[in-house]
Structure 1
Amino acid sequence: MNLEMEMDEYLPLRDVVFNTLRRAILKGELKPGERLMEITLADKLGVSRTPIREAIRKLELEGLVVMAPRKGAKVASITERDLNDVLEVRKGMEVLAISLACKRITGEELEKLETIEQSFQKLIESGNLTELAEMDVKFHDTIYQATNNQRLVQLLNNLREQMYRYRMEYLKDIAVRRTLAEEHKAICRALRERDEQQAEQYVSIHIDNQQKAIIRSLNQE
Structure 2
Amino acid sequence: MTNSVTMTNNNSNLKEYIHDQILKDVIEGTLQPNMILHEKKLMEQYGVSRSPVREALIQLCSESILCNYPKRGYEVSTISEKEIQDIVQFRIAVECTFLMQYGPSITDETLQKLEEHIAEHAALQVNGLTALQYWTANMRFHLLLFSSYDNTYTYQKLKDALTIQTRFYAQKRSQRWQSPVFTERDVLHRAILDYLKQKNYTMASSILKADIEDRSTV
TM-score by length of 1: 0.79
Deviations 1:6-53 (A, max 9, x none): 858794432332232223223323222222122222222121233222
Find the aligned partners of 1:72 and 1:10 in 2 and give their Cα distance.
21
Question: Number of aligned pairs?
Answer: 212
Deviation of 1:54 (Å): 2.5
1:127, 1:164 → 2: CA distance? Answer: 16
| Range that drifts further, 29-38 or 160-169 | 160-169
SS in 2 for 1:28: coil
Counterpart of 2:27, as a letter, is L
- TM-score of the superposition, structure 2-length normalised? 0.80
- 8 Å contact from structure 1 (residues 3, 44) kept in 2: yes
With over 3 angstroms needed to count, the CA separation of the structure-2 counterparts of 1:122 and 1:3, relative to structure 1, is farther
- Cα deviation for residue 77 of structure 1 reads 1.6
User: In the superposition, relative to structure 1, how do residues 88 and 5 fare at CA in structure 2: closer, same or farther (>3 Å)?
Assistant: farther
Matched, 1:96 2:97: yes
Contact kept, 8 Å, 1:110 with 1:188, in 2: the verdict is: yes
Query: Per-residue CA shift, 1:124-160, capped at 9, x if unaligned?
Result: 3433444434322221121012223333323323333
Query: What is the identity percentage for the equivalent residue pairs of Structure 1 and Structure 2?
Result: 22
Cα distance between partner residues in 2 of 1:52 and 1:162? 22
1:159 aligns with 2:161: yes
Measured after TM superposition, the shift of residue 116 of structure 1 is 0.5
Q: Residue type of the partner of 1:147?
A: Y
Ranked by relative contact order (alpha carbons within 8 Å, sequence separation 6 or more), the top structure is 2
Could you tell me which residue of structure 1 aligns to residue 140 of structure 2?
Answer: 138
- 1:198–1:60 distance in 2 versus 1, CA, 3 Å: same
Q: What CA distance in whole angstroms lies between the structure 2 residues aligned with 1:162 and 1:4?
A: 27
Gaps of 5+ in 1: 215-221
On the 8 A contact 1:90/1:156 being kept in 2, the answer is: yes
Displacement over 6 Å in runs of 4+ = 173-177
Alignment of 1:120-131 (within 5 A): 120-124=121-125, 125-131=127-133
**Residue 191 (structure 2) aligns with:** 186
